[in-house]
Amino acid sequence: MPDFAIARALHVLAVVLWIGGVGMVTTVLLPSIRRSYPPARRFTVFHDLEARFARQARVTTVLAGASGFYMAWRMQAWDRFASADFWWMHAMVLTWCIFTLMLFVLEPLFLERLLARRAAASPEATYRLVERLHWGLLTLGLVTVAGAVAGSHGVDLFAW
């Protein structure tokens, strides 16, 4: 079963780079920009710096999705999606769908321009919104990762 081991390794590496990158952006980059730049410049600086990570995030989300789908197919694990006991699998798909929608559809089609216009009119409020969105996405990602790691080892984090 080396193909499955390779798929799992690729999946874990993709998730580490993807969610780890979201963590770095959220906990390091955004606060550093807040402290270092005036409100009118923050969104532009953030957008310029995050653009490189966005490319990495697109590649890693595709890799995470493809490897995850392959593992579910290889294990014939589709029945897990019918059980609440495997909530973490639903969380993985939901997290992947949200990020994929953001990275491939919403941001390129209109969100970048909408936020740029909003930042021009209300820079402080827009930057706070960007920070809150990133904290929400990071929280979702971390809960999903914790649930998936524990769940794949037979432990339900939320079973009291």
Summarize pLDDT for 35-47 with one digit per residue, the tens.
999 999 999 999 9
Where residue 160 falls among pLDDT bands split at 50, 70, 90?
Answer: low
Alpha-carbon distance values, 44 to 34, 37, 54, 91, 116 (Å)? 12, 10, 15, 32, 8
Confidence of residue 95 (pLDDT cuts 50, 70, 90): very high
CA distance 19 to 110: 23
pLDDT band at 68 (very low <50, low <70, confident <90, very high): very high
CB atoms within 10 A of CB 92: 22
Residue 27 pLDDT greater than 90, yes or no: yes
Give me the phi and psi of 152, to 5 degrees please. Answer: -70, -10
Q: What is the mean pLDDT of residues 20-49?
A: 97
**Alpha-carbon gap, residue 151 to 84, rounded angstroms:** 12
